[in-house]
Amino acid sequence: MRVLVVEDHAGLARNVARALRESAGYAVDIAFDGEDGLFLAETNPYDLILLDLMLPKLDGIEVLRSVRQTSIQTPVLILTSRDDKDTTIALLDAGADDYLTKPFDVGEMVARCRALIRRAHGIAAPVIEVDDLAIHPDEMTVTRAGRPVALTAMEYRLLEYMAHRPRAVLSKSELLEHLYDHDWEKFSNVIEVYISSLRRKLNGEGADPLIHTLKGRGYVLLQ
């Protein structure tokens, strides 16, 4: 999953980004003002946007309205120091999905982020289940038929993204866009390497393969 954090307080922005990377395994981009935040939101395929209200150059409510006017459906979690009724109504009417009042608990923030991403993909339960595969985002652990599967951080990130879209054909470029932030150096064959490793780890003795390759199109989790 790839997340955009738009927050002008540099320390808070980096703390939020670190928590999302370490606790949820997300790729994170940061913008420190509303103009940069809007540009990134409109030019990259994010799974979630965390948006401060009080921003330089362009305030959060303007960014939110612009994002929704361009038909971007990415869930938006507002970070705000204001919790009055009128502000809440204005945020929800402008297209926000949820909000957190500063100061907030980092653990609660991460949990809300997970929930928003799940709901955006039509998943209500906290455990993502695909066939006999179970993914526990709160622990970043995976089991298949009850058997623990040890994955690297990037293998887990790739599998979790695919599990949010079972039976969808996912191209290599889409996977790259959702798994890496701007700071990662992307290599053309990295997805093939991780897919191969995931197959080896998920396909125990006698187990049916879960990940399939559609030549010239991409990969699919189940068919």
pTM of the model: 0.91
pLDDT score of 113 more than 70? yes
Domain boundary among 120, 140, 166: 120
Give me the pLDDT at residue 89, please.
87
Query: Are 30 and 14 spatial neighbours (Cβ–Cβ below 8 Å)?
Result: yes
Total structural domains within the chain = 2
- What does the block give as tokens for 138? 């709160």
**Distance (Å, whole) CA 145 – CA 208:** 11
CATH of the domain at 87: 3.40.50.2300
Residues 100, 139, single domain; the answer is: no
Query: Are 137 and 114 spatial neighbours (Cβ–Cβ below 8 Å)?
Result: yes
Residues 12, 52, single domain; the answer is: yes
172: domain range? Answer: 128-221
Domain boundary among 120, 154, 185: 120
Greater confidence, 13 or 207?
13
pLDDT score of 211 more than 80? yes
Residues 80, 135, single domain; the answer is: no
Residues 110, 28, single domain; the answer is: yes
**Distance (Å, whole) CA 98 – CA 123:** 17
Residues 98, 8, single domain; the answer is: yes
DSSP bridge partners of 2: 27
Cα dihedral across residues 20, 37, 72, 103: positive or negative: positive
Q: List own/partner pairs for 66-70 with CB under 8 A and 24 or more apart.
A: 66/38, 66/42, 67/38, 67/41, 67/42, 67/95, 68/94, 68/95, 70/42
Residues 114, 10, single domain; the answer is: yes
**Distance (Å, whole) CA 152 – CA 159:** 11
Give me the pLDDT at residue 186, please.
60
Residues 75, 151, single domain; the answer is: no
Residues 91, 162, single domain; the answer is: no
Average pLDDT, integer, range 186-214? 86
Burial grade of 38 (CB within 10 A; 0-12, 13-18, 19 or more): buried
Residues 50, 137, single domain; the answer is: no
Average pLDDT, integer, range 21-41? 96
CATH of the domain at 176: 1.10.10.10
Residues 108, 146, single domain; the answer is: no
pLDDT score of 18 more than 80? yes
Give me the pLDDT at residue 180, please.
86
Residues 101, 201, single domain; the answer is: no
Residues 109, 21, single domain; the answer is: yes
Domain boundary among 120, 154, 186: 120
Q: State pLDDT tens for residues 145-195.
A: 999 999 999 999 999 999 999 999 999 999 999 988 876 766 668 899 999
